[in-house]
A and B are shown apart, each in its own frame.
Chain A
């Protein structure tokens, strides 16, 4: 194309382009001004707003859960520990595809159905930005495996935590109880501030009763996080206050021995220091492994525990309701002395049976030939039934139930871990209210020897023995050793002085009479438990008991036939305290279907006393005897 521009054309072109460039320049300036206006709006006028948003972005408040207090026994054995463990936790809002992530995780960390089920429950319940545990207790290998692949799982991380661990396993399960994951109802009642970041709470036993002592106070830290929520640095920190370590009155060597002595039989042993009510041993056999419950028990395991005919989850020491059998006799005897129905010297003729006035039915004594002329001491030492048939019928239900009530039967002892059954002391009102019937004097016969509708718990029995050993000074059974952790639990009185003396103005000689009789039981020439009391290095007092599980026919042949069935065999009971002069330990022992109180239960008491009172024996036992 030929170039034939004139000079004018070029000038015109130049002006044309120059004008347009000027227009463009003006437009550019206007647009830059609009950008600057926008910047001004964002950085000057909305600065505070965006500063807040920026802070919210980067600064997160994290609760720091306190370390749970440890639990020790009086002999300095650790009963509840915190063990470091590595858990895999998920922050749901940071996981794009949860299902995919859970599937992929399986390649690095073992995740079973239970973990998943537990996780999904939590997922529905917790907030989207909360960290939810998926797997507890990762092995070292799993920790390493996951750490290498961590970048592939945003929002999922390994969190080190302290897990509750019960080293003594089943032996103290019914005392310590266990902690478990906080559930929905607990979420409503727990302090939401103090429990931010806490995953477990005491569910049972000591762990539940002293939750507020053991838990401690939550701390906080302000952390700077990046977009994935990973903590970059800590800006500010208020440390948590660890829960208090508490010491129990429990003597673990005695507790372990008690478990050992019950062997694989069902039953309960409660030992109390009568001087202050401190529980030295509290065994309910069989026990269970409380560690199973810490991270939520496998439903199959739980079903197995529930279905077991041995009912391992039942705390027999606190909830087991047993007829006391003859172990009730010292208390009834004392009531008779107090009420003036008997003097120690008054004798009852025992032909081997008793008949209510004007009735045909014979109530047999356990001894076929009878005990002959029997005074109170012999009646207790040989456990004469006829003496107490007579006595109970004479006493009547009102005086009888009031006396037992005063010794702590029929209502909770108030042991600090709670969960007690009140047992049952029958009364006119009770019978009227529950059965709609009047009380028949004839019922006194059975009730008088600890049968019939009378039901006691082992803890009640042990507490009553302690009161007896104290000559009437009431103690409240408790597990927290206030002497070792002084003031740890304020507002609680363990001691008797605040409580009413049972049986009103009971004279000292009445106690002495009963205690002397109980001494004869184990160390007298005709005592029912003299075999177990033989050659003891100290004097002690006891009372055997054999409680019928079901009402057995009085006919001998039929009785023998029925007794063959293990579940129908009598319960063996024994109560005792030692030493006689200045009691340091009071026990109640119940061996379910153990048959003879003197043969099964009484030797256990002797071994416990030997262990507890004699240093040499104690050492032998500790060495694995």
Chain B
């Protein structure tokens, strides 16, 4: 089509890209403060953002049909790698998560964050929408395999998000409310079993979540300090670089999992409104793109990725505000670190591909 605009020809969605850029830029601003004004950290993170954007642009070029054809194989490869990690992975911070491939160290669980929704979307779109009982059960079972493997590492946060990624696809595909209720009941009934399989430190986190004040110098300390940071920020915040809780190191993990506390302390309630606004814009645009996909596969995958993105946000913010237990989930696009960023941006790349390849395919 000769009359396509430049963004269309590049298969990118300008509003989404602008939203993502705004979030990443805001992230760098906060990171500068959270890292204790360390320029190297900021430049390093900027490099990772650039890389992630590159990957996003790359994946935007891959037609959804191609992604659909890869789904099964990506899923299978992911499961194999997860097994490999459990057998031969590197131990870091008490968990076996990394696979050293010689050139790069790689977390197969991150791959699963994309592979699971791809696989679920493909599986369902190949059958019927809404999915029948059989395919619902099949998808549930096949999603549970990587979830359990990741939970075994142990990496509760990622296992949860991978499960959520699969579940969102099922939900969007129209799993019946009755089945949904059944799943919820099943989850509730299986919680004692999950409890049994959880480690001591995971138990502790749950207790800490339930009552952070009971151990103010131990496990509850982080949550209390985080709530102090957020609360003391007030309406307008203490100002950029002026957060005492973060700069005096009272906040734990302040450039990664708890970066939202730093942000709340320095930018206050107004800042939170801005951030939530940006997130809502990205989510809204993402859902719009997913809804307007040509194919059921794209629609399911796109919506699943966007909903998972939201779950990231919700879990992280809920955690630092003491509403949810402490699970190692970073604040998407803001927290320091490249792994989650790359996964997310790849997902957004797919979303753009789903949207922008629409006319090409229909034409």
Q: Which residues of A contact B (CB under 8 A)?
A: 1, 10, 12-14, 16-21, 24-25, 28-29, 31-32, 34-36, 38-40, 42-44, 46-47, 49-51, 53-54, 57-58, 224-228, 232
Contacts and interface: CB of A to CB of B under 8 A. Distances in A.
Interface string B218-238: 000000010111111111000
Contact of B232 (A17, A38, A51, A228): A51
Interface in B212-269: 225, 227-235, 244-245, 248-250, 264, 268-269
B238 to A, nearest CB: 9
B317 interface: yes
Interface residues of B, number: 47
B272 A36 contact: yes
A227 B248 contact: yes
A47 to B, nearest CB: 4
Contact of B299 (A17, A39, A42, A53): A17
A25 B268 CA distance: 26
Nearest to A25: B287
A304 B46 CA distance: 71
- Dominant SS among interface residues on chain A: helix
A12 B303 CA distance: 17
Contacts of B276: 32, 35-36
Contacts of B283: 28
Interface of B: 126, 129-130, 168, 171-174, 225, 227-235, 244-245, 248-250, 264, 268-269, 272-273, 276, 279-280, 283-284, 287, 290-291, 296, 299-300, 303, 307, 310, 314, 317-318, 321, 323
Given A32-B276, A54-B229, A54-B245, A43 B171 contact: no
Contacts of A35: 276, 314, 317-318, 321, 323
B321 A39 contact: yes
Residue among B225, B228, B264, B303 with most chain A CB within 10 A: B228
Given A43-B230, A225-B248, A21 B290 contact: yes
A40 B230 CA distance: 10
Contacts of A24: 168, 171-172, 287, 303, 307
Given A17-B300, A49-B231, 15 more contacts: A1-B126, A17-B299, A20-B303, A21-B290, A36-B276, A39-B272, A40-B269, A43-B264, A44-B234, A47-B235, A51-B234, A53-B228, A57-B245, A57-B248, A227-B249
Contacts of B299: 13-14, 17
Contacts of B290: 21
A51 B229 CA distance: 8
Contacts of A232: 248
Given A43-B230, A51-B231, A17 B173 contact: yes
Given A35-B318, A53-B228, A54-B229, A20 B171 contact: yes
Contacts of B310: 28, 31
Residue among B227, B245, B248, B307 with most chain A CB within 10 A: B248
Contacts of B296: 10, 13, 17
Contacts of B321: 35, 38-39, 42
B173 A57 contact: no
Contact of A50 (B168, B231, B303): B231
A17 B303 contact: yes
A58 B172 contact: no
B172 A47 contact: no
B268 A43 contact: yes
22 contacts: A10-B296, A16-B173, A16-B174, A17-B172, A17-B173, A17-B174, A17-B296, A17-B300, A20-B173, A24-B168, A24-B287, A32-B279, A36-B273, A39-B272, A42-B230, A42-B231, A42-B321, A43-B230, A43-B235, A47-B232, A54-B245, A227-B250
A226 B249 CA distance: 6
Contact of B269 (A1, A20, A21, A43): A43
A53 B303 contact: no
Nearest to A42: B231
Given A13-B296, A17-B291, A50 B232 contact: yes
